[in-house]
Chain A
Amino acid sequence: MKKAGIIMVIGSLLLLGLFKFPLWNIMLGAPQYPEPLGMNIYLDGIQGVEEFDLQNIDGLNHYIGMKTIPKAEDMWEFSVFPKVILGMSLLGVLIGLLGFAGKVSYKFFIGWFVLMSVLGLLGMYDFNNWLTEYGSDLDPHAILKLNNPDGTPMSYKPPLFGHQKLLNFDVTSLPHIGGYLMFVGMSLTLVAFWLGRKFSLIKAKE
């Protein structure tokens, strides 16, 4: 159980990587952009991969009437997400330490994992909603107004995950280092749960 507690602590601490590294990354390449433009989505805001990328993405997006990329203060998510992640990380560490000391059962580990997964899914859902709104809430006076073959206005929603072609741009959306650290961390808490369970089964047999 000591080992499981340590792994639980490590897994929870890996979430803190999100304060240093981006959660997600969206790259936009085009014939005119052999070096693609890109945005990194951090817990507390969106930044360009290169210094002027956001400005240049906004510059291009004005042709199709998209809003400018939101600043940190424009979205409540960027003030709430850091608190949630910090809270979850501290909670996980606490559970891990208590598990290490034998004060709580391994079931708390899976409890933390389920809570984190629910929060993560809610976060993804919210993120996807924003992408949809960002890609389809277009200025009616946009320079370029394009329709789908069925007559509905074209949406420029970047994909939540993976690649999509938007006009001349190839858009690729994938987790970044912070995101991967979070996934590894969450997986470790599952490992902790499994080790803890194995330990308690062995103990029960004795």
Chain B
Amino acid sequence: MKNIYKLTIGFLITVVAFTSCGDQKSSKTGGALKSSNAEKVYVAPGEHDSHYAFISGGYSGNLTVYGLPSGRMFKEIPVFSQFPTNGYGYSEETKPLLETSYGFIPWDDSHHPDISQTNGKLDGRWVFINGNNTPRIARISLETFETEEIIEVPNSAGNHSSSFITENTEYVVAGTRFSVPVPQRDMSIKDYKGNFKGALSFISVDPEHGHMDIKFQVLMPGFNYDLSHPGRGKSHGWFFFTTYNTEEANTLLEVNASQNDKDFIAAINWKKIEEYVNNGGGTMMPANYAHNVYDEATHTATSTMKKEVRVVNPAEVPGAVYLLPTPKSPHGCDVDPSGEYIVGNGKLSANLTVHSFSKMLDAIENKKFDGDAYGIPILKFEDVLAGSVEQPGLGPLHTEFDGQGNAYTTFFISSEVVKWKLGTWEVIDRKPTYYSVGHLTIPGGNSREPFGKYMFAMNKITKDRYLPVGPEMEHSAQLYDISGDKMELLLDFPTHGEPHYAAAIPAEIIKNNSKKIYRLAENEHPRKATNDAEAKIVRDGKNVHVYMTMIRSHFSPDNIEGVKVGDKVFFHVTNLEQDFDVPHGFAMIGANNAELLIAPGQTRTLTWEPKQVGVWPFYCTDFCSALHQEMQGYIRVSPADSNIELSWSLGED
């Protein structure tokens, strides 16, 4: 008994010794690490970050610009959503960008930004992003950081497996999440199976000005097309899409679309289909979709409705499409920098499935098919499998690559990022995320040459990471240093809206292209006023056009009379400044739309419908100069039957 007592005491002492020793050690290293991590993300005042990150805004419909490694937000670029901050989607010049076949749609759910490439490398000319809800693809200039073009995608619904770019920006690709009747028609939802179609759209990008045009749509079986990525290097010319709901269920998908042991990755040989289409293949089908283009010279967007689209039945193009069985409703579909490995992140699967491109080609060549789906050959799982990462975590969603032979996969359910090795499939490291990570980004992650220094995880749940701000919170991202063997968490930073994917790029590729002003001499806006002498007011029936200029620190004209109740006043305001970062604002009392923020050399138009007699002020909203508060004016609004003539002035007594 005594012995047992002694033993227990001895054991306890040992345990205490070990524990305290362990504690000391960890607190020491923890402290040292923390201070060096602070240095890694510290960008001294006035210094620049080394990378840009373009983070999607999700339901904000926009795209935010961040710096890495500091996690500072520099700009929110309005894309699919009206933005009262600068009048985007409210000004007459930008309203056409939000036109669709459904009319004016002032919001969307933006998802997957991707930066243009040349020879598989980021070239930093444009960033593309998809609107998920009302299917659209936008192109944003990385010189002006403004939305330049939006094209609607017909026959699509839930534009989710988008907007990914082929390695010479030949195409920006947009796949539908929901399959729908094509063409749309009145039919029973129960007749989904076999009748609905999933359209995968290949939108060509003009190499010079970036203009988009739907080259063809592949009308696939009625699965859900979840995500996609281009082949690169050896697999350039192919595109890979994950699918779920290969059961073709139309109700209670959480159960009914989770029955098949394997869904598919659809491999599309787009070069083959392109050739087929160039030789007259496919059919032009009637359609109705908007193509909205912003002209930097006129500072104005125009919207045109396109009336037809070329569709291709994949069964009619032999050798163009194959289905690769992939376990359990794969979500992310990621291709490694060499183009050999295609990762299917089976979100309900215990293992992570990786297919081999060369094995796929081999299986195709030897016709090792395992039946077909609607005429599309299905390959055998074992014949295309490169390997699988065994039990890496729970709920894999997305994988990125560091260019050093490693892959990084996010696990939503176990809330972590797992680093594993391509080829050996061994897990090298795992780090928790806070909490429930969705996408992750490595700069250049969707290219042949990733820049494997930083990785950031975009999380869906924030909870206690920041000071509480009520029930609704911004999401949180975590930045990791991935330059060593082990990932190191460096920084938490809040993101805006719900970031899905992000695209990041070394700053030096784009920062010197960023414009400082728009040249007034190149302004071709039809209602510009490029000096005080051109300021004027023209009445056209009930429409009153005010050609106004703004420069530190006055408007010209700033006294306007002769406007009447019932008129529609168009303020065409030109900012005469040619100095970097001197925008002016224009705000009119009682404006039912927004203010305008006008960049140097730019013209913007705000519409105002005066409803009350009186003398009403307008002013500059952007603190432009020491005399900003003096930058104001008045408009006299007379009764509708008044006979006061239009007059305007500046500086007259």
Please state if B552 and A59 are interface contacts (CB–CB under 8 Å). yes
User: How far is B517's CA from A92's CA once the two chains are assembled, in angstroms?
Assistant: 47
**Residues in B neighbouring A59, C-beta threshold 8 A:** 551-552, 577, 579
The answer to the question of B626 belonging to the interface, with a C-beta cut-off of 8 Å to chain A, is: yes
Please state if A56 and B578 are interface contacts (CB–CB under 8 Å). yes
Please state if A52 and B626 are interface contacts (CB–CB under 8 Å). no
Q: How near does chain A come to B95, taking the closest CB pair, in angstroms? A: 30
- Are A52 and B579 CB-contacts (below 8 A) given A59-B551, A59-B552? yes
The answer to the question of B44 belonging to the interface, with a C-beta cut-off of 8 Å to chain A, is: no
**Residues in A neighbouring B577, C-beta threshold 8 A:** 59
Our pick among B551, B552, B578 for the contact of A52 (Cβ within 8 Å) is B578
The answer to the question of B627 belonging to the interface, with a C-beta cut-off of 8 Å to chain A, is: yes
User: How far is B517's CA from A55's CA once the two chains are assembled, in angstroms?
Assistant: 14
Closest A-B pairs by Cβ, 8 of them: A52-B578, A56-B579, A55-B578, A59-B552, A52-B579, A143-B627, A56-B578, A59-B551
B551, B578, B579, B626 — which one has the most chain A CB atoms within 10 A of its CB? B579
Quick one: CB contact mask for A54-90 with B, threshold 8 Å, 1 for yes?
A: 0110010001000000000000000000000000000
**Residues in B neighbouring A143, C-beta threshold 8 A:** 627
User: How far is B627's CA from A35's CA once the two chains are assembled, in angstroms?
Assistant: 23
User: How far is B517's CA from A51's CA once the two chains are assembled, in angstroms?
Assistant: 11
User: How far is B287's CA from A176's CA once the two chains are assembled, in angstroms?
Assistant: 65
What are 16 of the A-B contact pairs (CB < 8 Å)? A35-B580, A51-B578, A52-B517, A52-B578, A52-B579, A55-B578, A55-B579, A56-B578, A56-B579, A59-B551, A59-B552, A59-B577, A59-B579, A63-B626, A63-B627, A143-B627
Q: How many residues of chain B have a CB within 8 Å of chain A? A: 9
Across the two chains, which residue of chain B brings its CB closest to A56?
A: B579
User: How far is B517's CA from A56's CA once the two chains are assembled, in angstroms?
Assistant: 13
**Residues in A neighbouring B626, C-beta threshold 8 A:** 63
By size class, the interface of chain A is under 10
Across the two chains, which residue of chain B brings its CB closest to A52?
A: B578
User: How far is B579's CA from A35's CA once the two chains are assembled, in angstroms?
Assistant: 11
User: How far is B577's CA from A17's CA once the two chains are assembled, in angstroms?
Assistant: 34
User: How far is B375's CA from A76's CA once the two chains are assembled, in angstroms?
Assistant: 86
**Residues in A neighbouring B627, C-beta threshold 8 A:** 63, 143
Chain A, 1-58, CB within 8 A of any chain B CB: 35, 51-52, 55-56
A55, A59, A63 — which one has the most chain B CB atoms within 10 A of its CB? A59
Q: How near does chain B come to A53, taking the closest CB pair, in angstroms? A: 9
13 other A-B residue contacts (CB within 8 Å) besides A52-B579, A56-B579, A59-B577: A35-B580, A51-B578, A52-B517, A52-B578, A55-B578, A55-B579, A56-B578, A59-B551, A59-B552, A59-B579, A63-B626, A63-B627, A143-B627
Across the two chains, which residue of chain B brings its CB closest to A62?
A: B552
Chain B, 42-101, CB within 8 A of any chain A CB: none
User: How far is B626's CA from A55's CA once the two chains are assembled, in angstroms?
Assistant: 18
**Residues in B neighbouring A52, C-beta threshold 8 A:** 517, 578-579
User: How far is B627's CA from A147's CA once the two chains are assembled, in angstroms?
Assistant: 20
Q: How near does chain B come to A34, taking the closest CB pair, in angstroms? A: 8
Across the two chains, which residue of chain B brings its CB closest to A143?
A: B627
A52, A63, A143 — which one has the most chain B CB atoms within 10 A of its CB? A52
Chain B, 579-631, CB within 8 A of any chain A CB: 579-580, 626-627
**Residues in B neighbouring A51, C-beta threshold 8 A:** 578
User: How far is B580's CA from A51's CA once the two chains are assembled, in angstroms?
Assistant: 12
Quick one: CB contact mask for B421-436 with A, threshold 8 Å, 1 for yes?
A: 0000000000000000
Q: How near does chain B come to A186, taking the closest CB pair, in angstroms? A: 38
Across the two chains, which residue of chain A brings its CB closest to B625?
A: A63
**Residues in A neighbouring B552, C-beta threshold 8 A:** 59
User: How far is B626's CA from A56's CA once the two chains are assembled, in angstroms?
Assistant: 15
Q: How near does chain A come to B392, taking the closest CB pair, in angstroms? A: 49
Across the two chains, which residue of chain B brings its CB closest to A51?
A: B578
User: How far is B626's CA from A12's CA once the two chains are assembled, in angstroms?
Assistant: 50
User: How far is B451's CA from A174's CA once the two chains are assembled, in angstroms?
Assistant: 44
User: How far is B579's CA from A67's CA once the two chains are assembled, in angstroms?
Assistant: 19
**Residues in A neighbouring B580, C-beta threshold 8 A:** 35
Q: How near does chain A come to B578, taking the closest CB pair, in angstroms? A: 4
**Residues in B neighbouring A63, C-beta threshold 8 A:** 626-627
User: How far is B552's CA from A87's CA once the two chains are assembled, in angstroms?
Assistant: 45
Chain A, 159-205, CB within 8 A of any chain B CB: none
User: How far is B630's CA from A63's CA once the two chains are assembled, in angstroms?
Assistant: 13
**Residues in A neighbouring B551, C-beta threshold 8 A:** 59
User: How far is B578's CA from A201's CA once the two chains are assembled, in angstroms?
Assistant: 63
Q: How near does chain A come to B622, taking the closest CB pair, in angstroms? A: 14
Q: How near does chain A come to B245, taking the closest CB pair, in angstroms? A: 56
User: How far is B579's CA from A56's CA once the two chains are assembled, in angstroms?
Assistant: 7
Q: How near does chain B come to A168, taking the closest CB pair, in angstroms? A: 10
User: How far is B81's CA from A49's CA once the two chains are assembled, in angstroms?
Assistant: 40
**Residues in A neighbouring B579, C-beta threshold 8 A:** 52, 55-56, 59
Q: How near does chain A come to B210, taking the closest CB pair, in angstroms? A: 26
Q: How near does chain B come to A60, taking the closest CB pair, in angstroms? A: 8
User: How far is B627's CA from A39's CA once the two chains are assembled, in angstroms?
Assistant: 25
Q: How near does chain B come to A122, taking the closest CB pair, in angstroms? A: 36
**Residues in A neighbouring B578, C-beta threshold 8 A:** 51-52, 55-56
Q: How near does chain B come to A71, taking the closest CB pair, in angstroms? A: 16
Chain B, 532-564, CB within 8 A of any chain A CB: 551-552
Across the two chains, which residue of chain B brings its CB closest to A168?
A: B626
User: How far is B552's CA from A59's CA once the two chains are assembled, in angstroms?
Assistant: 8
User: How far is B627's CA from A143's CA once the two chains are assembled, in angstroms?
Assistant: 9
**Residues in A neighbouring B517, C-beta threshold 8 A:** 52
**Residues in B neighbouring A55, C-beta threshold 8 A:** 578-579
User: How far is B578's CA from A51's CA once the two chains are assembled, in angstroms?
Assistant: 9
Quick one: CB contact mask for B335-357 with A, threshold 8 Å, 1 for yes?
A: 00000000000000000000000
Q: How near does chain A come to B553, taking the closest CB pair, in angstroms? A: 9
Q: How near does chain A come to B179, taking the closest CB pair, in angstroms? A: 54
Q: How near does chain B come to A158, taking the closest CB pair, in angstroms? A: 20
**Residues in B neighbouring A35, C-beta threshold 8 A:** 580
Across the two chains, which residue of chain A brings its CB closest to B581?
A: A32
**Residues in B neighbouring A56, C-beta threshold 8 A:** 578-579
Across the two chains, which residue of chain B brings its CB closest to A37?
A: B579
User: How far is B551's CA from A63's CA once the two chains are assembled, in angstroms?
Assistant: 12
Quick one: CB contact mask for B514-533 with A, threshold 8 Å, 1 for yes?
A: 00010000000000000000
Q: How near does chain B come to A16, taking the closest CB pair, in angstroms? A: 32
